[in-house]
Chain A
C-alpha cells in the first residue's frame, strides 16, 4: 500500500553516521550548557525538595483578589511568598511559601498564619507542607534512584550485549538525563518528585530506543561479516527507521494528550516527557550509534559467535 510507504520509509540509505561530528558538537553544547545552567542558575525546586508550604486556595466569593492577597501575605514576614493564578475561573490561586527558618513546628505555625490572614472566603483544595528534614532526604533518595537506575541499565546492557554497548548506552542515557536536568534548570520549570519520575521514564524510553538499534547492530555483525562498521551502523539505523518514526509518533501523540488534557499536576511531567522523547531519539541515533565506531566490535565474543554460527544471508533457518 502506497499510503503506508509514504508514512514509513523502507530501504532507505541515509548516511547518519557521516554527521557524527556535527552531532557530537550539538551534544557537547547541550551537555556543557546544561552543566553551566545547573551550576549558575540551579533549579526551581518545588516544596518536595526545598521544603516549604504549598496551598491551592479557591475563592468562594467570585474571582480572587490576587493583588490584595499578595499584599496581605507579603506583610506576614514569612519570606518569599509567590502567588499564581491558574484554571479558567479566576478563583484558583496557588500559593507557595518558602521554607521557614527553624524546625517543623515553625512550618506549621506559618501555615496557620497564612490561613488566618486570608480569612474566610477560601477553601483549600490542596495543602502540602514539607519540613526541612524530609526535603533533604527526598533529594538524596531522588539522586540515588537516578544514579542507581543508570548504573543498572548499563550493567544490564553490558550483560546482554558487550561492554562496548554498555558504555554506549550509559553515555547516551546520561546525556538524556543531564540535558533534561538542564532543561528544567534553564526554563525554571518546577523540579519535584514527579519530575524525578519523568526523568527516569525518559531514561527508560531512551534505553528502549538504544537497545532496539543495538540489537540490530549485533544481528548485522553476525550476518555481514565483512561489511565495514561504518556501513553496518548506518544499515542498522536505516533498517529500524520505520519503527523509530512510528513509535516516536505514537508516544508523541499520547504525551501531547497528557500535556493538553492531563491537568495542572501532570504538566511538568508531560513537558519533560516531550523533551525526553526528542532527545532520547536523537541520542540513540546520533550518540549511541556513532560511538560504536570507536570500538573494535569484531574482536571478542561477538566475533567468535559470528564464526561459530555459519549464518546464511537470510539469518538462522526457521525450524
Chain B
C-alpha cells in the first residue's frame, strides 16, 4: 500500500534521529569528543587507521605444568627427609613424579605423608615399592586456566604501570592474550617488559661444592647450577644454589628504583608474612650467602651479615637507571606464572594510519559522488531521492558502528564501499521494476506499489545471502576480515531499511506533492 501507517513514519523518524545523533560525534575533534558522554563517542578506529601496536602473546602452559611437577618433587623430597623415610629414584618423568620407598614396612606410612603434599595429585603404588604421583586431567587444566588468568592480570598491571593510553588486553582462545596499544610507535620496550617472567626468589648458596665441580655435572640433589646475570665485573660465572626457596617475590608489596652509593638500585619491601620469613631465614643463616635470583639468573649473592628484620632490602647490580626502573616495575606488577611468547606483532605508525584513513575516506567519497551523479543522470529526481536514502544509509552505518563501539578498520572502509553498491542495487531493482510495471500499463501509484513489492523479495534474498556470508566471516575470520564483516553486516541492515522503507516513503510523498501522472523515469 502506498499509504503509510503512522507507526512506520514514526519508526523512520526515530531511526533517522538516532542515526544523526550517534553519527554527529564523528564530526568533532578529539578534544571535543573527549568531553562528550561515553555513550556518545565517535567510531573507534582500528590500529591500522589510528596507528599503534598489536601483540599476540602465548602463555607457555607446558612450562606451568613443568613447574608444578618440579615443586611436587621438592615437596616429596622435603617430606620424606623430614620423616626420615629412605627413598630412591625420586624424579619427574613425563607427566608424573615417581619415587621408590626402600623399606617395605615404611610404605604405608610414606603414602599417608605423600598424600598430604598435594590433594590434587593421585598416588599409585606399585609392587616394587615405587609410588607414582600424577595430576588428574582436570587439575592440570584448572592450573593452566589459573595461569592464563594470572598472566592476563600481570600483563595488565605491567602495561598500566607504563601509562599507555587506552590499552586493550584480552584473552583469546585457549592460551593467548591480545594486547592492543593505540598510539604506541615502538613496542620494543613493551615486548621486553612482557618477555620477562620476573620471578624473583631468594635462595641459599650451596657451599658443599663449588661451581667448577658443578659444571662438570656433579650437582648435589636439591641444588641447581644457575648462571650469573652479570659475568663481567669479576663475578663468578655461575652459582650452585639450593633449590629450596627461602622467600619468594610473591611476598613483595612494593618496589622502587632508587640510588645507593650513587648507583641505581632497586629497593623492595616485604609483606608482614614475608618480612617474618625473611627475618627467620637471615637469622638462621647468618654468615652464609643469600642468592637473589631473577628468572633463573643470579643477580647477586651477598653474605648475610646480620638478620634483616625490617622487611625491606635492596637489590644492587650493575643496573642502568632505565633497567632499575623496569625491574622495580616488574617486581611491583608481580611475576608471570609462565613465560610469554610474541606470536604476532603488528605496528602501524600514526602518520601511516592517517594516510590510510585519508586515502580510504577520499576513495569512499569519490565513489559516493560518482554514484550520486550516475543515479541522477539515469533516474532524474527519483535518482536524487535514492541518493538521499543512500546518504542516510551511510549515516546509519556510521551511527551504529559508533553506538556499538565497533572498530572501523581499513577493510571496513572497503566494506562501506561495497554496502553502497548493494544499496544502490536495491534502488535500481526497485526503479527498474516500477518502469516495467508502468510500461505494462499500470497507473503511477500502482506501478510504484508493484515495483516495491516485487523487488522486495529479490532485495531481501540478495541481502540475506550476503549477510549469511558476513556472519560466517565474522565467526571464522580474524583481524581485518572480522572488521570487514561487521561493517558489511551493519551496512546491509541499514540498506534494507533505507532502500526499501525510507526511499518508498520519499518517492510516494514526492509523487503526491508534485502530482505526477507518470514516473519521471522513462
Contacts and interface: CB of A to CB of B under 8 A. Distances in A.
Given A149-B468, A208-B462, A258-B414, A194 B342 contact: no
A205 B349 CA distance: 34
A118 interface: no
A130 interface: yes
Given A152-B469, A257-B366, A141 B522 contact: no
Contact of B466 (A148, A207, A262): A207
A44 interface: no
Contacts of A152: 468-469, 471-472
Interface in A187-219: 193-194, 196-198, 200-201, 203-205, 207-208, 211-212, 215-216, 219
B519 to A, nearest CB: 11
Contact of B378 (A4, A108, A255): A4
A131 B344 contact: yes
A239 B455 CA distance: 13
Interface in A259-273: 260-263, 265-266, 269-270, 273
Contacts, number: 242
B481 A197 contact: yes
Interface string B380-423: 10000000000000000000000000000011011101101110
A205 B492 CA distance: 12
Contact of B360 (A133, A197, A266): A266
A138 B478 contact: yes
Contacts of B300: none
B454 A315 contact: yes
Contact of B345 (A127, A200, A212): A127
B346 A247 contact: no
A214 B351 CA distance: 48
B473 A208 contact: no
Contact of B473 (A129, A200, A269): A200
B344 A257 contact: no
Interface residues of B, number: 83
A211 B420 contact: no
B56 A134 contact: yes
A42 interface: no
A102 to B, nearest CB: 12
A215 B428 contact: no
Interface stretch (B22-30, B35-43, B435-443): B435-443
Given A4-B378, A257-B363, A266-B360, A108 B414 contact: no
Interface string B424-465: 110011001001100110100010011000100110011011
Interface stretch (A5-13, A28-36, A73-81, A225-233): A5-13
Contacts of B349: 123-126
The 3 closest A-B pairs by CB, nearest first: A263-B359, A254-B367, A257-B367
6 contacts: A126-B346, A131-B343, A156-B468, A207-B462, A250-B371, A257-B370
Interface of B: 1, 48, 56, 58, 191, 341-349, 351-352, 355-356, 359-360, 362-364, 366-368, 370-371, 374-375, 377-380, 410-411, 413-415, 417-418, 420-422, 424-425, 428-429, 432, 435-436, 439-440, 442, 446, 449-450, 454, 457-458, 461-462, 464-466, 468-473, 475-481, 484-485, 488, 521-522
Given A127-B347, A145-B472, A145-B475, 12 more contacts: A1-B380, A10-B435, A103-B341, A128-B345, A194-B411, A247-B421, A250-B421, A257-B366, A263-B356, A269-B414, A315-B454, A319-B1
